[in-house]
Amino acid sequence: MDKTQIERIQATSGAIYTFANRLDYNAEIFTQYDAITKCAMDQYNLFHGQINNEEEFKKLSPPEQQTLFENTRNYADFIDNLHKELTYLSRSRHSLNIITAMDELGAINMLLNALIDLMGGPSGKLVYPDIHIKDKHWNKATYNNQVVNLEIEVDKLVLEVANLILADKQLDATIRQALIFNTYTSLVKAQAWLNNEIDRVEHDGMPKAREFNLPEIVVPKLPDQKDQPKKG
């Protein structure tokens, strides 16, 4: 068995893992929330700047000052709630299918490290992953297409490992067993979980953003002219 081939398989599975880790199921929602957050921050900064301008603030009537404080507080609370939602989404950007697929790919990396050690350690050669996903295409692809591309790469790796096992009749028992029951099995499992994710998105669609409407700006209630005491 060629040690550099094992190292290339390891590098390829590692590259697939890296792309899988970059998946973000909530990316479209983030884009929507970012636009809302920018609008909210612009309005908040406007209100806050008026409060901090002491000279101009003193010119406002008490009702105007009160509503300015109220509007500032409303927008601060709104931004805080948006921030909490974004924090939650950033922690849940991977579905269970993707998390499980990544677990299998991570296990492959540790297994192949052990195999390379059994074969006398790293070859010392510069090994590149055999993967056809490119950054410029990846970043422009939809979430579902990204997952499909990952599944295709895993499928090619499954076939390569299967051919390696079938072609090399001189594998010792330890290495053969590790390749069959760990590397190959984990790759098949990873592929199955990626296919589950493809099916899930096609069936359920992408997540929908919660509705966040900018707070209504409060207008100061000034006394009616008819309620004012008559002069003279």
Express each pLDDT in 165-200 by its tens digit: 887 766 666 777 777 778 999 999 999 999 999 999
Please check whether residue 9 is in contact with residue 161, taking contact to mean a CB–CB distance below 8 angstroms.
yes
Q: Is the confidence at residue 154, as pLDDT, over 70?
A: yes
For residue 92, the 8-state DSSP code is T
Predicted structure pTM score: 0.79
Shared-domain flag, residues 32 and 73 = yes
So what's the pLDDT on residue 94? 92
Shared-domain flag, residues 83 and 31 = yes
Q: Flag whether 145 is in a domain.
A: yes
So what's the pLDDT on residue 77? 95
Shared-domain flag, residues 118 and 5 = yes
Shared-domain flag, residues 51 and 105 = no
Q: Average the pLDDT over 121-140 and give the result.
A: 87
CA–CA separation, 44 and 63 (whole Å): 19
> Which class for 115: exposed (0-12), middle (13-18), buried (19 or more C-beta within 10 A)?
buried
Domain count, the chain: 2
Q: Flag whether 35 is in a domain.
A: yes
Average pLDDT along the chain? 87
pLDDT, tens only, 198-231: 999 999 888 887 888 899 988 877 665 555 555 5
Shared-domain flag, residues 115 and 183 = yes
pLDDT, tens only, 16-64: 999 999 999 988 888 888 889 999 999 999 999 999 998 888 888 888 9
Residue given tokens 């880790």 in the structure block: 21
CA–CA separation, 110 and 115 (whole Å): 9
> Which class for 183: exposed (0-12), middle (13-18), buried (19 or more C-beta within 10 A)?
buried
> Which class for 171: exposed (0-12), middle (13-18), buried (19 or more C-beta within 10 A)?
middle
Q: Average the pLDDT over 88-96 and give the result.
A: 87
Q: Report the b/e string of 27-46 with b at 16+ CB within 10 A.
A: eebbeebeebbeebeebbee
Shared-domain flag, residues 112 and 185 = yes
Shared-domain flag, residues 80 and 40 = yes
Count of other CB atoms within 10 angstroms of residue 19: 17
Q: Flag whether 115 is in a domain.
A: yes
CA–CA separation, 180 and 185 (whole Å): 7
Q: Average the pLDDT over 137-156 and give the result.
A: 92
Shared-domain flag, residues 141 and 63 = no
Q: Flag whether 72 is in a domain.
A: yes
Q: What's the domain range around 75?
A: 26-93
Q: Report the b/e string of 122-147 with b at 16+ CB within 10 A.
A: eeeeebebebebeeeeeeeeebeebb
Q: Flag whether 185 is in a domain.
A: yes
Between 100 and 59, the more confident residue is 100
Shared-domain flag, residues 42 and 107 = no
Shared-domain flag, residues 4 and 119 = yes
Shared-domain flag, residues 195 and 111 = yes
Q: Flag whether 219 is in a domain.
A: no
Shared-domain flag, residues 199 and 160 = yes
CA–CA separation, 192 and 101 (whole Å): 8
